[in-house]
Amino acid sequence: MQRFYLPNGASSLPEVSHGDGIYLWDTNGARYMDASSGPVVNNIGHANKRVISAMTRQAGRVAYASRAHFENAPNRELAEKVTALAGDGFDQAYVVSGGSEAIEAAIKLAKQYVEAIGQSERSIVLARNPSYHGATLGAAAVTGDAMSRKLFADLMNPQPLVPTPFTYRVPDNFSSESHARHCAQALADEIERVGADKVLAFLMEPVGGLATGALVAPDIYYTEVRKICDRYGILLIFDEVMSGAGRTGAFLAAHHWPDCRPDIVVLAKGVAAGYTPLGIVLAPDQIVEPVANGGGFSHGHTYAANPLSCAVASEVISVLEEDELIANADVVGEFLKAGLWGVAEECPIIGDVRGKGLLMAVELVRDRETKSIFPADANVIGRTVAVGMEEGLALYARRTSGGVFGEWLMISPPLITSKSQAEELCDRLSRTLKRVSEEMVPYL
């Protein structure tokens, strides 16, 4: 269940009035820095005039036309732009309405591909624990979250999970690299356990999102995962709903690990930057053509390839390219990470700072030495979000599996953020966490 944290004395959340750049205003005139781009969505900032104009132009032509009756130019243009930026091996783009839809479409495409090539026994999708891949039942079935599985298990077919290669909460007697190797071997072991000929795909986030707080595994993990998938003939699917579209300083986070190129990539969130609901599945001709030749992709949504949404996303991609926002994410991301470590020096409840580009997180702990978290009744995450709003900072936070895997703040401002704005963010975060630290003294 989504939880909302209210500032002191408030009976409801503030009502948003408008946005501009990296800031939002409420109807009382208070200004908030959008420090997490909402739930890591608004890559190009609010009220971008180019995108608004593109939206208006397309709405004046045609807002909706069923893909059963017509092709449309915005869909083609978006597909061409995205596949060009994704690079070799990503020849086709299938446009849907969001991340959960795109995850399910990717899994269905993978399944229809193996059916087309005579490997119909493959149906198991392995994922990691913890992980997050969406809120629909199909996406939840491949999500590693104990609370979600307990609540919805009888409505879905939960898939097997393998351990996540943490770099902060590393088990005893492991280094980050040896734990990464261990997690990769656990993947191979699970494939053997369930039967290699039954496994369809391995689904993972190359840079962590809500379940792992911007986790970046050691490089060896990515190399080993690709080798394992190749060894067993398993498709590798990257969930880049959060990490894609330039967020990590490359168009795809996959580009940071060229020896771990995925077979299928899922994009959403930042690819349309919050201006319209949209998700994309990227796949090579090698996978798409057998499905097409076998009768076509048996899947669809009412708003798949919607011309209005495609026109909006196409302009978002143009803004990313022409304003060099992907490079800015890389440069300002490094600057921001250094600033966040500076905040950590002043705020003892920060245990870790991690991420890549402008997909960052700070993990909150009660004790740095033991990495222990605050008890649930301390509500440190809720108080941090509420105090942040009072300090003019809109933060997105997560306590995964009831705190079993820690709790953190996603620090992921829009890709238009400047170094001076990154400094402002760190100043506001420092004030926020100092106040929260004082409130948490009884729990320390």
Three-state SS at 124? strand
| Position 6 in a domain | no
Q: What is the pLDDT of residue 9?
A: 65
**HEC per residue, 8-39:** CCCCCCCCEEEEEECEEEECCCCEEEECCHHH
C-alpha to C-alpha distance for 358 and 40, rounded to whole angstroms: 10
C-alpha to C-alpha distance for 139 and 158, rounded to whole angstroms: 10
Can you tell me the mean pLDDT for 137-158?
94
Altogether, the residues listed in the chain come to a count of: 444
Q: What is the pLDDT of residue 403?
A: 81
| Position 173 in a domain | yes
| Position 9 in a domain | no
Same domain, 330 and 368: yes
pLDDT beyond 80 at 314: yes
Ramachandran angles phi, psi of 37, nearest 5°: 50, 45
**HEC per residue, 279-290:** EEEEECHHHHHH
C-alpha to C-alpha distance for 107 and 237, rounded to whole angstroms: 9
Question: Residue 80 forms beta bridges with which residues?
Answer: none
| Position 11 in a domain | no
Residue type, 367: D
| pLDDT one-digit tens code per residue, 171-195 | 999 999 999 999 999 999 999 999 9
Task: Give CA angle at 70 (65, 74), nearest 5°.
Answer: 70
| Position 73 in a domain | yes
Same domain, 235 and 267: yes
Same domain, 95 and 177: yes
Helix (H) or strand (E) segment spanning residue 235: strand 235-240
Q: What is the pLDDT of residue 6?
A: 73
* Closest by CA position to 418, among listed 429, 410, 408, 426: 426
Can you tell me the mean pLDDT for 263-289?
98
C-alpha to C-alpha distance for 235 and 202, rounded to whole angstroms: 6
* Closest by CA position to 359, among listed 22, 19, 23, 37: 37
C-alpha to C-alpha distance for 298 and 406, rounded to whole angstroms: 40
CATH number (domain holding residue 418): 3.90.1150.10
Q: What is the pLDDT of residue 321?
A: 98
Same domain, 279 and 331: no
C-alpha to C-alpha distance for 352 and 113, rounded to whole angstroms: 41
7 band by pLDDT with thresholds 50, 70 and 90: low
Q: What is the pLDDT of residue 8?
A: 67
pTM above 0.95, yes or no: yes
Same domain, 215 and 241: yes
400 band by pLDDT with thresholds 50, 70 and 90: confident
Number of H helices, E strands in the chain: 13, 15
Same domain, 54 and 187: yes
pLDDT beyond 80 at 18: yes
Q: Widest CA span of the chain, in angstroms?
A: 66
| Position 80 in a domain | yes
Percent of the chain past pLDDT 90, that is, above it, reads: 95
Answer left, alpha or beta for residue 60, where phi above 0 means left and psi between -120 and 50 means alpha.
alpha
pLDDT beyond 90 at 114: yes
pLDDT beyond 70 at 2: no
Same domain, 36 and 114: no
Q: What is the pLDDT of residue 11?
A: 80
Can you tell me the mean pLDDT for 323-343?
98
Give the Cβ contact number of residue 434 at 10 Å: 15
| pLDDT one-digit tens code per residue, 27-50 | 999 999 999 999 999 999 999 999
pLDDT beyond 70 at 240: yes
| Average per-residue pLDDT for the chain | 96
**Residue where a domain stops, chosen among 271, 293, 322:** 322
Weakest-pLDDT range from 144-148, 340-344, 401-405, 436-440? 401-405
1 band by pLDDT with thresholds 50, 70 and 90: very low
Please check whether residue 147 is in contact with residue 132, taking contact to mean a CB–CB distance below 8 angstroms: no
Can you tell me the mean pLDDT for 363-379?
95
**Residue where a domain stops, chosen among 282, 305, 322:** 322
Same domain, 26 and 137: no
| pLDDT one-digit tens code per residue, 50-109 | 999 999 999 999 999 999 999 999 999 999 999 999 999 999 999 999 999 999 999 999
Q: Which range marks the domain in which residue 155 is found? A: 50-322
| Position 4 in a domain | no
* Closest by CA position to 221, among listed 175, 263, 190: 175
Q: What is the pLDDT of residue 3?
A: 59
Same domain, 78 and 220: yes
Same domain, 217 and 357: no
Q: What is the pLDDT of residue 116?
A: 97
CATH number (domain holding residue 307): 3.40.640.10
26 CA to centre of own chain: 26
Please check whether residue 348 is in contact with residue 369, taking contact to mean a CB–CB distance below 8 angstroms: no
Query: What residue spans of 217-346 are helical by DSSP H?
Result: 219-232, 285-293, 307-322, 325-346
| Position 195 in a domain | yes
Same domain, 36 and 146: no
397 CA to centre of own chain: 13
C-alpha to C-alpha distance for 427 and 425, rounded to whole angstroms: 5
80-83 — which CB contacts under 8 Å span 24+ positions? 81/314, 81/317, 81/318, 81/321, 82/267, 82/271, 82/280, 82/282, 82/317, 83/282
How many domains does the chain contain in total?
2
pLDDT beyond 80 at 204: yes
Q: What is the pLDDT of residue 4?
A: 62
Same domain, 86 and 188: yes
**Residue where a domain stops, chosen among 322, 346, 363:** 322
